[in-house]
């Protein structure tokens, strides 16, 4: 049986219509006899008038009917409609600049787009599309496109505007584009909430749940280490990890073969290498890891290295527990750790490679 977050956590998510909990739980409203997604726009019930379910089927078996506003029986978990509409518009034509006037013609209040994008992506809509266009421009310049053509292709009508926007994102003018190291970012929705993936041509540098405590510090540290800028985009690496995450959460495979770029001390890297040897559906203790390292007294150091892993799931630090069998802390939340361990018990060994 899947373990849900605490009732208080889920009720807070319901009040805030927190999209990171989409697919994690469904809420039954005792006073109306319906059940909803956590992002349902309907009026919110009192704390004592709700109960929670891990699947729509459980809510149906409990006698609840699906809500006609949020359609909790729909298989595909959808982003808020505004985000989906704008995200699709950007990806269909990354070089297009969508102005406030364009937004109004689409029936969207620019201030609403700004707030909603900032809440989800931690940058405004205009900043997001500017970074996306700059990423495309950098690619064009690096592949031999003349600066003036990159300027025109990305919708800038003046050279000064292009140079200023380029420097604002990358910290260097277009003529020095070859000196810029760029990490591309992708937002990946999962049944346990959204994840952020950062990658370059060499491999995946970071994969974390977006609500992980201290994520901003991890990103800032990675930027310093790689001397990189981060822009939204796509790549073969990001496509691969997205597909592998899809297979993982669907329970068809626990394999992660995406190339990784890891940074840490020799000891940390040895711990992370061992973590990747823990079979899906099994757990090891910190003591077992320390013994396998030949350092049986280094359990605390092993725990610290475990906590510094920034490649969630692909380096499965969630498979480490205390020697007494109890669960320890997890950067993505202990409730996620419980869910992941339960989920992996249902993935056939033949599917794990």
Of 276, 353, 261, the C-alpha closest to 318 is 276
**Distance between CA 87 and CA 92 in Å, rounded?**
9
Does 67 qualify as catalytic in the annotation?
no
CA distances from 336 to 38, 210, 262, 327 (A): 17, 13, 23, 11
- Given the residues 40, 67, 182, 317, select the one marked as catalytic: 317
User: What is the gyration radius of the CA atoms in the chain, in angstroms?
Assistant: 22
Enumerate the β-bridge partners of residue 199.
Answer: 184, 204
For residues 43 and 40, give the distance between their C-alpha atoms in angstroms, rounded to a whole number.
8
Query: From CA 284, how far away is CA 320, in angstroms rounded?
Result: 5
**Separation between Cα atoms, residue 254 and residue 252, nearest integer Å:** 7
**Longest Cα pair distance anywhere in the chain, in angstroms?**
65
Q: Is 26 within 8 Å of 72 (Cβ atoms)?
A: yes
Assign 124 to helix, strand or coil: coil
Which of the residues are catalytic?
317
């Amino acid at each position: 049986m899947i373990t849900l977050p605490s009732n208080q956590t889920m009720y807070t998510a319901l009040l805030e219509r927190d999209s990171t909990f989409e697919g994690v739980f469904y809420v039954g409203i005792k006073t109306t006899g319906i059940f909803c997604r956590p992002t349902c726009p309907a009026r919110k019930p009192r704390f004592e008038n709700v109960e929670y379910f891990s699947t729509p089927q459980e809510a149906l078996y409990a006698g609840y009917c699906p809500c006609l506003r949020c359609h909790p029986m729909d298989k595909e978990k959808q982003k808020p409609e505004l985000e989906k509409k704008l995200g699709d518009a950007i990806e269909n034509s990354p070089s297009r600049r969508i102005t406030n006037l364009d937004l109004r013609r689409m029936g969207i209040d620019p201030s609403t787009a700004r707030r909603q994008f900032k809440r989800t992506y931690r940058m405004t809509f205009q900043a997001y599309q500017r970074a996306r266009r700059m990423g495309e421009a950098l690619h064009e310049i690096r592949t031999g496109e003349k600066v003036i053509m990159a300027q025109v292709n990305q919708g800038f009508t003046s050279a000064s505007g292009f140079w200023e926007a380029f420097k604002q994102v990358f910290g260097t003018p277009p003529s020095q584009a070859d000196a810029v190291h760029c990490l591309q970012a992708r937002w990946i929705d999962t049944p346990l909430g959204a994840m952020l993936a950062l990658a370059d041509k060499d491999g995946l540098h970071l994969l974390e749940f977006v609500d992980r405590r201290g994520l901003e510090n991890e990103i800032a540290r990675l930027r310093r280490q790689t001397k990189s800028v981060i822009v939204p985009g796509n790549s073969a690496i990001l496509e691969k990890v997205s597909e592998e995450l899809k297979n993982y959460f669907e329970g068809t495979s626990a394999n992660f073969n995406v190339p990784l770029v890891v940074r840490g001390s020799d000891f940390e890297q040895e711990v992370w290498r061992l973590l990747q040897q823990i079979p899906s559906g099994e757990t090891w203790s910190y003591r077992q890891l320390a013994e396998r390292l030949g350092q049986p007294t280094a359990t605390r150091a092993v725990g610290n290295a475990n906590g510094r892993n920034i490649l969630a799931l692909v380096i499965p630090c969630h498979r480490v527990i205390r020697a007494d069998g109890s669960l320890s802390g997890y950067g993505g939340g202990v409730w996620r750790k419980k869910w992941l361990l339960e989920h992996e018990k249902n993935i056939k060994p033949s599917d794990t490679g």
